[in-house]
Amino acid sequence: MNLNVIHTGNFKLDGGAMFGVVPKVIWQKLNPADDNNLCNWAMRCLLIEDQNRLFLIDTGIGDKQSEKFYSYYYLNGSQSLKSSLHAAGYDFKDVTDVILTHLHFDHCGGAVKLNTTTQGFETTFPNATYWSHADHWNHALNPNPREKPSFLTENILPIQQSGQLKFIGDDLRITDTISGIIANGHTEKMICPKVTIGDKTVVFMADMIPSVAHVPVNYVMGYDIRPLEVMKEKEAFLHEAADNNYILFFEHDNSTECATVGRTEKGIRVIQTGNLTDFI
């Protein structure tokens, strides 16, 4: 098994929204904001080469939305889903499985593309099985008013219409080495994939812990639909991560790819940070 980091570009989000009730005087030191109170965030995905299968976890924001839509998020950076896949030696047609942690547009937008000939939408990965959680899928199709702007029909329905959609089972296991953890605080039934490589375990944190700055239990995003549930989920997970020396893979941290955590006199704290290659 080999793991490759796939960078799909950066975008900007309001710092207050990303850190909730944590005062700006604190989070500003961790993620400095610009004059519009916006912080820069990564949309980092993970490519897994496992025998004859090629798995991609999340797909970034994509490139099919309008200029007006993208102007709200100040896309930046020179990397893209396509260029990163090519740098790893692959193309869209080579991906056999796409695991969507959840269907917010910055995580699944790249899963569907615009067909420039027909002007219709089609799956980006024509040979892939797309994995989601059935309860989350239904939640995205029938969203609450707060999340509705994050669930875009053109990111979701073309996957189902293609016949490539498959729901992860109750055991949350896709292969012997790839399974999942369910989190309900950020959105309904988000999957955080758990990858076993040799004697190490990498957990793709998605939006349970979007950056290393969000490791403290009370650092909860304003986007989370159940903030208190997030805190409970994080606390339980971080103890498990410390006990098992999990490698936490951050999707949105602009500079830190991974970290490990451990028990200290002050509770669970970050022990080591670095790139994925520093840990694997």
pLDDT of residue 263: 93
> What number of helices (H) and strands (E) belong to the chain?
9, 14
Q: What strands, in cross-sheet order, belong to the sheet with 258-264?
A: 178-183, 190-197, 200-204, 247-249, 258-264, 267-274
Q: Which residue has the tokens 């199709």?
A: 141
Report pLDDT digits (tens) over 34-51.
999 999 999 999 999 999
Report pLDDT digits (tens) over 240-255.
999 999 999 999 999 9
* 96, pLDDT greater than 90: yes
Spatial CB neighbours of 265, under 8 Å, sequence gap ≥ 6: none
Report pLDDT digits (tens) over 168-213.
999 999 999 999 999 999 999 999 999 999 999 999 999 999 999 9
pLDDT of residue 86: 97
Report pLDDT digits (tens) over 7-25.
999 999 999 999 999 999 9
Report pLDDT digits (tens) over 113-170.
999 888 799 999 999 999 999 999 999 999 999 999 999 999 999 999 999 999 999 9
- Number of domains forming the structure of the chain: 1
The boundaries of the domain holding residue 104 are 2-279
Mean pLDDT of the chain: 97
pLDDT of residue 266: 84
Mean pLDDT, residues 84-111 taken together: 98
Give the CATH number of the domain where residue 107 resides: 3.60.15.10
